[in-house]
Amino acid sequence: MSNKIRSLSSGLYILLLLPGGALVHASNKVNVKNDVVISVTSTREDKPLSEVPASVGIINKQNIKETKPAHPSEIMNQIPGVYINVTGGEGHMTAIRQPTTTKAVYLYLEDGIPTRSTGFFNHNALYEVNIPQSESIEIIKGPGTSLYGSDAIGGVVNVLTAAPPLEMQTSVNIEAGDHAWYRLLVDTGDSDDDSGYVASLNLTSSDGWRNDTEYDRTSANLRFDNFLDNGASLKTIFSATDVDQTTAGSSRLLRDDYLNNPQLNYTPISYRQVQAFRLSTEYEKGGKDSSLTVTPYLRHIQWLYYPTGH
């Protein structure tokens, strides 16, 4: 195998759900209604969690805001049966009711849109999602193949983007820590009678606590919601992420170094560069006994990496 591997995946896709169908994933404006927890991912439509015949974990916006996760493990490991490890920097592997694996047994979504192509190697799959500025996270613990296809063998992770605020809001969060770690989170948005928008920017950088494990992350999200005169709605989302890191944080060490010099890195050539973007527009119109949802989307992802130890 070549030391340098490049993977490129892109395409244009359309999701079409006809009237009378149950598969609707449009609404994520609220996750709690009258103190009743609502799940979107488990049925692809708003449904009280108490009525869902599946094991679903939900992390709401307040929890994300209070946790301010620097890594997906810091927030997603709060759900029983879900384990996200840290392989260095922004890297991770996932375990949902089974051992950690790099195989394509989990499906990762953003507002119901797969972040990667079917069957694509899912190690580090949360690289492409801006979790600390999301609205909520829903995780199906167990097979979801009947709704989502072959990638959802072991579970489904759906990160829902933040909805536009009811009035003008802007927030700026600046963080700094050891090993030259810093993060800037900026959110702004507004709404009027029939439309709204929200824009988010995530700039993160760190030198890493181990030698040669620095990384930089840039993520941006832009969402527009429009409500049409015929009662239908449009939700347009643009998401982009760039991750650039030397990620040998999982480098094995000899016992003496592990005990006395854990910052050593035996594989400094390990490298990851990820560039990804998604653009989607969802049309939804609900009737008395039916719903119609059409979601064309464009997805592109490019990886460049040197495998650890090669």
Task: List residues bridging with 11 in a β-sheet.
Answer: 299
Q: How far is CA 256 from the centre of its chain?
A: 38
Mean of the pLDDT values across residues 124-137?
93
Mean pLDDT of the region 240-247? 90
Per-residue burial over 252-282, b if 16 or more Cβ lie within 10 Å, else e, is ebeeeeeeeeeeebebeebbbebbbbbbbbb
Q: What is the mean pLDDT of the chain?
A: 82
Residues 268-297, mean pLDDT to the nearest whole number: 87
User: Does residue 182 surpass a pLDDT of 80?
Assistant: yes
Which is more confident, 209 or 168? 168
- The answer, yes or no, to whether residue 34 has pLDDT greater than 70, is no
Counting residues of the chain whose pLDDT is more than 70, the rounded percentage is: 80
d(CA 237, CA 226): 12
Question: pTM for the whole thing?
Answer: 0.81
Which positions ≥6 away from 133 have C-beta within 8 Å? 162, 185, 187, 200, 202, 219, 221
Q: Is residue 278 scored above 90 in pLDDT?
A: yes
Give all domains of the chain, ordered by start, each with its CATH number. Answer: 5-306 (2.170.130.10)
Q: What is the pLDDT of residues 189-201, one digit of tens each?
A: 999 989 999 999 9
Distance CA 104, CA 157 (A): 13
Give the pLDDT score at 5. Answer: 43
Cα gap 177→166, rounded to integer Å: 34
> Going by DSSP bridges, is the β-strand pair 155-160/136-141 parallel, antiparallel, or unpaired?
antiparallel
On the question of pLDDT at 42 being above 70, the answer is: no
